[in-house]
């Protein structure tokens, strides 16, 4: 029986050769590309079947698919609809809402067994299984057993007023005479290597021992001016009020020496108050030169929020802080 001829276009021939020679493709897709290439070159069907180890029907289907729909239909699998979903997004939303509700009496939190039992009492969810509930929660990255420690503030009228005042400050346009600076600190552990690392070699990266030697801790003061895109970092041994006052003095005498007024946003750490400047510099020395706290000082919330200090440039301070 005469073999049916098949001739690829130049564009299709290029695609087929790309599939055969490079890239990641399924084995059956590569085999189909081999079939099209061989048929295009006039290789006998018997030889194709013997070399590729495939059935005659598969070869015929590949050729027919190319004649009907080109390379895409002949080489790649058509997407299959699969089994229809038993539970839609409405069911997922209902189970998620159930997991967000208060747990049953006597339970500290929801468990999968309890969620399954409660979900089966809902309309159209009578046959839902525990595994289905688990997959729904996992799909939506929902973990009822997790708890995060969070600072939950009381949304009083005073809180709202102070919050809006601070947001109004953040909304001001950038002005070099009145910069808005956020200050915070963090303790950082210093570590060193216990053993020398093994140098890198061809085909092998540098190997570093997992053990380390503790070298103590330091404190980092960081002042960030978001709208100007700059920050100042200062390293100190401690974070006591003496160090904090010295850091603020350095900012106002060096980085912001030409500013008319500096708006400093702080949290409610025990050293972030006017009393720290009175204690370190003395009340009379701090009043005109350090931080002149005016009547419009905005102290936002007593529960872990930010406050805004309006300051004027003070007397010179230490010069060990580095702007970045």
Q: Report the alpha-carbon distance of residue 6 to residue 45 in Å, rounded.
A: 12
**Nearest Cα residue to 322 out of 224, 217, 235, 225:** 235
The answer to pTM > 0.85 is: no
Question: Is 321:253 a contact under the CB 8 Å cutoff?
Answer: no
Q: How far is CA 153 from the centre of its chain?
A: 25
pLDDT of residue 319: 39
Q: Report the alpha-carbon distance of residue 11 to residue 15 in Å, rounded.
A: 6
Q: Report the alpha-carbon distance of residue 203 to residue 93 in Å, rounded.
A: 50
Q: Report the alpha-carbon distance of residue 118 to residue 96 in Å, rounded.
A: 12
Q: Given the DSSP bridges, would you call strands 307-311 and 212-225 parallel, antiparallel or unpaired?
A: unpaired
DSSP 171: T
pLDDT of residue 311: 53
- Angle (deg, nearest 10), helices 27-40 and 56-75: 100
pLDDT of residue 229: 92
Considering only the C-alpha atoms of the chain, give the largest distance between any 2 of them, rounded to a whole number of Å.
111
Please classify residue 105 by burial: count the beta carbons closer than 10 Å to its beta carbon, then call 0-12 exposed, 13-18 middle and 19+ buried: exposed
What 3-state DSSP class applies to 2? coil
Q: Point out which residues pair with 227 in neighbouring strands.
A: none
Question: Is 118:161 a contact under the CB 8 Å cutoff?
Answer: no
pLDDT of residue 237: 93
pLDDT of residue 213: 93
Q: Given the DSSP bridges, would you call strands 321-323 and 307-311 parallel, antiparallel or unpaired?
A: unpaired
Report mean pLDDT in 10-residue bins for the chain, 324 residues: 80 90 87 91 89 89 90 85 80 86 87 88 83 88 80 77 85 90 92 91 90 93 93 93 92 89 87 86 60 36 48 42 60
Question: Is 40:51 a contact under the CB 8 Å cutoff?
Answer: no
- Angle (deg, nearest 10), helices 10-21 and 56-75: 100
């Amino acid at each position: 029986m005469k073999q049916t001829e098949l001739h690829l276009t130049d564009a299709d021939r290029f695609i087929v050769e790309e599939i055969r020679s490079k890239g990641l493709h399924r084995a059956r897709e590569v085999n189909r590309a081999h079939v099209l290439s061989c048929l295009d070159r006039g290789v006998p069907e018997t030889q194709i079947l013997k070399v590729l180890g495939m059935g005659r029907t598969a070869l015929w289907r590949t050729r027919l698919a190319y004649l009907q729909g080109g390379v895409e239909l002949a080489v790649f699998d058509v997407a299959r609809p699969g089994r229809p979903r038993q539970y839609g997004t409405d069911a997922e939303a209902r189970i998620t809402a159930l997991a967000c509700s208060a747990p049953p009496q006597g339970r500290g939190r929801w468990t999968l067994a309890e969620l399954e039992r409660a979900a089966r009492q809902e309309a159209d969810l009578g046959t839902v299984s525990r595994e289905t509930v688990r997959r729904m929660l996992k799909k939506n990255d929902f973990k009822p057993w997790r708890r995060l420690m969070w600072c939950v503030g009381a949304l009083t009228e005073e809180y709202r007023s102070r919050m809006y005042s601070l947001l109004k400050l953040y909304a001001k346009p950038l002005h070099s005479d009145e910069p808005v600076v956020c200050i915070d600190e963090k303790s950082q552990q210093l570590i060193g290597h216990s053993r020398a690392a093994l140098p890198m070699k061809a085909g092998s990266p540098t190997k570093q021992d997992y053990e380390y030697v503790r070298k103590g801790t330091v404190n980092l003061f960081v002042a960030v001016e978001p709208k100007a895109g700059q920050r100042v970092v200062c390293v100190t041994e401690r974070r006591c009020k003496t160090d904090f006052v010295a850091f603020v003095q350095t900012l106002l005498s060096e980085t912001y020496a030409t500013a008319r007024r500096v708006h400093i946003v702080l949290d409610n750490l025990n050293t972030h108050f006017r009393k720290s400047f009175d204690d370190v510099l003395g009340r009379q020395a701090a009043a005109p030169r350090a931080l002149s706290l005016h009547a419009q000082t905005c102290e936002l919330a007593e529960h872990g929020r930010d406050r805004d200090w309006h300051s004027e440039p003070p007397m010179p301070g230490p010069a060990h802080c580095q702007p970045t």
